[in-house]
């Protein structure tokens, strides 16, 4: 194990609020954005920044859950992390975090877990600037602002003089600890750490914040965070496979690969027995994570009894489109002695590709007399499909 230098910076992540305005069924920090909670995303940002002591301030009773999130975000930096219990107000929660600072720490950042998507670059910029005094990240105000008295405008406000405050807010440790002691003795509550620090007579400077540093407060904010994450997630293609087997023995003529084969023995099945089409449907549904053919077209759906490939494939294409997937291509092969396929390959591929709106290629092989396809009892098919998630609109 390598011995790392003890960091001179600490980041207190306050996560002890109840999240009344979000109303997410759990304390706000533990509400999920995607597969991960608000707290986990906030900690991912913190651990992606330069090494610092990380103190998570958890709601009473949620210390164990906070510890789990901390361990997962920290990876091999877990020794830098600790969880403490928060208080009834944000200010008390910060005070609980300050009490857990390591001796070597000279700079303290206080960060809202609720600003879960704050870029690590903002955290690093604040940490650097805080060596010289109080500093907060801000954004310019874009709205035109008015001072109002009840329902009447009392004055115009020059927005050039204003900035919207974010976190993390950074301070020299000694000055911040002293300012907190003064506020506690006076029993004064401040809206943020910068206000408390300024009230103690210190200057606070600003650095550029980020649009991604918004605070998740309401359900609409949570939606915004979800959209931002979905938009930045890599859109990887997905593969799926499907197989199908049908025995010869149905009535009428053979239907295979979307074509009718007059004079060839039919396959048996709930529908027309087109094992090539059925394998394609399973490959596509599997690739998109949409279940399987039985679920969408099985005996519980009598409207598909006797239906041909066109109907199955057109519906499958619709299901994928509704789930946000485009079809890349499908490759399918069947094993069987009959029909002799090569003469109609082009016709079958054009038909299947037309319905799916993507290239479908079909190959056929015999099995040298082996197994049930070789004995002429039926047909065995395997299909592989590639689908591509379509970028969500933000």
Q: Edge-to-edge strands of the sheet including 259-267?
A: 259-267, 238-256, 378-389, 325-335, 360-365
The binder of 240, among Mg ion, ligand CTP, none, by C-beta within 5 to 8 A per type, is none
Longest dimension (CA), the chain: 97
13 to 42: interface string for Mg ion, x by CB under 5 A: ----x-------------------------
| Least distance CB 131 / ligand CTP (angstroms) | 25
The binder of 217, among Mg ion, ligand CTP, none, by C-beta within 5 to 8 A per type, is ligand CTP
Residue closer to ligand CTP, measured from CB, 91 or 353:
91
User: Could you count the other beta carbons within 10 Å of the beta carbon of residue 264?
Assistant: 15
Residue closer to ligand CTP, measured from CB, 43 or 290:
43
| Least distance CB 209 / ligand CTP (angstroms) | 15
| Least distance CB 17 / Mg ion (angstroms) | 5
| Least distance CB 217 / ligand CTP (angstroms) | 5
Residue whose beta carbon is closest to ligand CTP = 17
Tokens of 74: 């920290």
Residues 6+ apart with CB under 8 A from 55: 10, 11, 12, 13, 81, 82, 83, 84, 97, 100, 101
| Residues 309, 311: Cα–Cα separation, whole Å | 5
| Least distance CB 86 / Mg ion (angstroms) | 11
R_g of the chain, CA atoms, integer Å: 31
| Cα torsion through 104, 110, 115, 119, rounded to 10 | -40
Which residues of this chain interact with ligand CTP, rule CB under 6 A?
14-22, 28-29, 57, 86-90, 93, 112-114, 215, 217
Residue closer to ligand CTP, measured from CB, 20 or 144:
20
| Least distance CB 164 / ligand CTP (angstroms) | 14
The binder of 45, among ligand CTP, Mg ion, none, by C-beta within 5 to 8 A per type, is none
DSSP letter string, 172-223: EHHHHHHHHHHHHHHT---SSHHHHHHHTT--EEEEE--GGG----SHHHHH
The binder of 52, among Mg ion, ligand CTP, none, by C-beta within 5 to 8 A per type, is none
Output phi, psi for 200, to 5 deg. Answer: -85, 5
Contact positions toward Mg ion, by CB under 5 A?
A: 17
């Amino acid at each position: 194990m390598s011995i790392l230098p003890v960091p001179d910076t600490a980041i207190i992540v306050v996560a002890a609020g109840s999240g009344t305005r979000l109303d997410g069924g759990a304390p706000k920090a533990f509400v999920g954005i995607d597969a991960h909670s608000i707290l986990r995303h906030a900690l991912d940002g913190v651990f992606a920044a330069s090494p610092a002591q990380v103190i998570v301030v958890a709601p009473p009773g949620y210390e164990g859950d906070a510890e789990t999130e901390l361990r997962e975000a920290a990876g091999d930096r877990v020794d830098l992390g600790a969880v403490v219990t928060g208080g009834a107000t944000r200010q008390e929660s910060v005070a609980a975090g300050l009490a857990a600072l390591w001796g070597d720490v000279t700079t303290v950042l206080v960060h809202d877990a609720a600003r879960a998507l704050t870029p690590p670059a903002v955290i690093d910029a604040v940490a650097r600037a805080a060596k010289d005094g109080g500093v907060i990240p801000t954004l310019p105000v874009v709205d035109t602002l008015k001072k109002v008295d009840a329902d009447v405008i009392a004055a115009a406000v020059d927005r050039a003089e204003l900035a919207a405050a974010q976190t993390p807010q950074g301070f020299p440790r000694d000055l911040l600890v002293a300012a907190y002691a003064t506020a506690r003795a006076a029993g004064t509550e401040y809206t943020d750490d910068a206000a408390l620090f300024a009230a103690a007579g210190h200057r606070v400077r600003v650095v550029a914040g980020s649009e991604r540093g918004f605070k998740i407060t309401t359900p609409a904010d949570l939606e915004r965070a979800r959209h931002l994450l979905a938009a930045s997630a890599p859109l990887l293609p997905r593969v799926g496979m499907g197989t199908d087997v049908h025995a010869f023995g149905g009535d009428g003529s053979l239907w295979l690969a979307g074509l009718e084969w007059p004079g060839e023995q039919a396959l048996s099945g709930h529908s027309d027995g087109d094992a090539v089409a059925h394998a394609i449907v399973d490959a596509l549904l599997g690739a998109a994570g949409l279940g399987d053919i039985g679920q969408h077209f099985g005996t519980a759906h009598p409207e598909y009894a006797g239906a041909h490939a066109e109907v199955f494939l057109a519906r499958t294409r619709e299901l994928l489109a509704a789930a946000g997937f485009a079809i890349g291509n499908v490759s399918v092969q069947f094993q069987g002695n009959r029909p002799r396929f090569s003469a109609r390959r082009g016709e079958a591929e054009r038909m299947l590709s037309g319905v799916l709106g993507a290239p479908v290629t079909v190959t056929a092989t015999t099995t040298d007399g082996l197994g049930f396809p070789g004995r002429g009892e039926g047909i065995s098919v395997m299909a592989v499909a590639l689908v591509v998630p379509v970028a969500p609109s933000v």
